[in-house]
Amino acid sequence: MTATRWSRTSRRAAALVVPAAVLMALAGPAQESLAYGRAQYPAQSAGNRGTDVLALQRLLVSKGQSAPADGVFGASTTAAVKRFQASHKLAADGIVGAATWAALAPTLKEGASGPAVSALQGELNAKAGAGLGVDGKFGDGTKAAVRRFQTAAGLTADGVVGPATWKNLLWHYERVTFSGNNLCDQNPDGNKTANWGTAAAVAQLEAAGRAFASAGRGRIPVGDLGLELGGNIPGHASHEQGLDADLWPVRDDGAQCTAARITWKSAAYDRAATRRLVQEIRRAAPGHVKTVFFNDPQLISEGLTTSWAGHDNHLHVRYCEPAHPSAAYRC
Ligand SMILES: [Zn+2]
């Protein structure tokens, strides 16, 4: 199970090589430095998933703690975080905030080896399309990938991974993988590049898509998330923090990825399957779904969704984290 999951991630990393580089080039230096200037360590806690959780687990192991390498922040990861925090005079709350990240992430340079280097390589692959083998050895290829990332982020491109490089890399968004996760890509507002979210949001959404497959009601259409570096996105007041995702409701013929878009009022609307979708979204991210905006009065009465103007034809999932600069994204 674990091996399957992460070999899928490796294929995703390989597929990212060109597009991520192209997007970075198109974004232009001014926009990039503005966005990277907002970088901060992403707070993570029990219930999170994804690339940053896997990096956390590898960093814990590099510090002598025993932790799984499955990218899922469960009880054993929480216990490992608390042990690490206690041994470093940090508040042992099991929440990985800026101070814990900073204490976990070592300065790395060419010649280094071990799980911390694997954490770095996994981040470079998922966030920057580096396409590195995750071998835990900091060689020429890893150094070149670090330098490319540092250049894009407006940092000194010295190939040495210190606190600023870790922070920017952990903060950087990741792109959704549609194939293999029972998801399809929709671009209702023409925002074709808006498929990026925080590593946690993306992995949680992908896990929900895979779980929904067993409902036998087709794939889930994913509209916009956010841009690679966050920031303003046309047609959306939110979607700037990498924690918002628009999904389309399920049709009774399961053809929501190909047939006409519906609302909860449409004859073709499948309430039972849409309810199941919301349940899978919540199950894949326990404690990390702030709300799901969708105007079906029945689902609202069941406490599954919340009404918001403009949300008859899509479910707007808002993920949250234990700490965030904006209260709207704090769990
Ligand atoms: Zn929305």
- Report the pLDDT value the prediction gives residue 30, as an integer from 0 to 100: 38
pLDDT above 90 (res 192): no
Q: How confident is the model at residue 194 (pLDDT cuts 50, 70, 90)?
A: confident
pLDDT above 50 (res 134): yes
CB 165 within 8 A of CB 116: no
Angle at which helices 51-62 and 75-87 pack, to 10 degrees? 50
Ligand 1 center–CA 78 separation, angstroms: 32
- Report the pLDDT value the prediction gives residue 19, as an integer from 0 to 100: 42
Ligand 1 center–CA 274 separation, angstroms: 16
- Report the pLDDT value the prediction gives residue 224, as an integer from 0 to 100: 86
- Report the pLDDT value the prediction gives residue 277, as an integer from 0 to 100: 98
Q: How confident is the model at residue 188 (pLDDT cuts 50, 70, 90)?
A: confident
CA distance 48 to 285: 6
CA distance 128 to 226: 16
Decide: helix, strand or coil at residue 284: coil
Ligand 1 center–CA 246 separation, angstroms: 6
Q: What is the pLDDT of residues 107-120, one digit of tens each?
A: 999 999 999 999 99
Residue with more model confidence, 302 or 192 = 302
Ligand 1 center–CA 228 separation, angstroms: 18
Query: How large a percentage of the chain has pLDDT more than 70?
Result: 89
**Which domains does the chain carry?**
2-172 (1.10.101.10), 176-329 (3.30.1380.10)
pLDDT above 70 (res 35): no
pLDDT above 90 (res 67): yes
Ligand 1 center–CA 213 separation, angstroms: 23
β partners of residue 315: 247
Ligand 1 center–CA 109 separation, angstroms: 43
Ligand 1 center–CA 316 separation, angstroms: 4
Residue at 125: amino acid letter: N
Name the average pLDDT for the chain.
Answer: 89
Task: Tell me the backbone φ, ψ of residue 4, rounded to 5 degrees.
Answer: -60, -45
Task: Give the mean model confidence (pLDDT) for residues 29-50.
Answer: 76
Residue at 172: amino acid letter: H
Ligand 1 center–CA 300 separation, angstroms: 16
Ligand 1 center–CA 293 separation, angstroms: 7
Residue at 69: amino acid letter: A
Cα-to-chain-centroid distance, residue 19: 17
CB atoms under 10 Å from CB of 22, counted, come to 12
Of 220, 208, 233, 160, whose CA–CA distance to 319 is shortest?
208
CA distance 58 to 62: 6
Ligand 1 center–CA 76 separation, angstroms: 35
Cα-based angle 20, 243, 121 (whole degrees, multiple of 5): 40
Residue 214 DSSP label: G
Query: How large a percentage of the chain has pLDDT more than 90?
Result: 79
Ligand 1 center–CA 315 separation, angstroms: 7
Task: Give the mean model confidence (pLDDT) for residues 65-92.
Answer: 98
- Report the pLDDT value the prediction gives residue 37, as an integer from 0 to 100: 67
- Report the pLDDT value the prediction gives residue 15, as an integer from 0 to 100: 39
Ligand 1 center–CA 55 separation, angstroms: 30
CA distance 250 to 259: 11
Q: Is 176 exposed, middle or buried (0-12, 13-18, 19+ CB in 10 A)?
A: buried
Distances (CA, A) of 295 to 251, 291, 304, 329: 16, 12, 11, 21
Ligand 1 center–CA 319 separation, angstroms: 13
Residue at 30: amino acid letter: A
Q: How confident is the model at residue 226 (pLDDT cuts 50, 70, 90)?
A: confident
As a whole number of Å, the CA-based R_g of the chain is 20
pLDDT above 70 (res 189): yes
Ligand 1 center–CA 111 separation, angstroms: 47
Task: Give the mean model confidence (pLDDT) for residues 303-309.
Answer: 97
Ligand 1 center–CA 263 separation, angstroms: 13
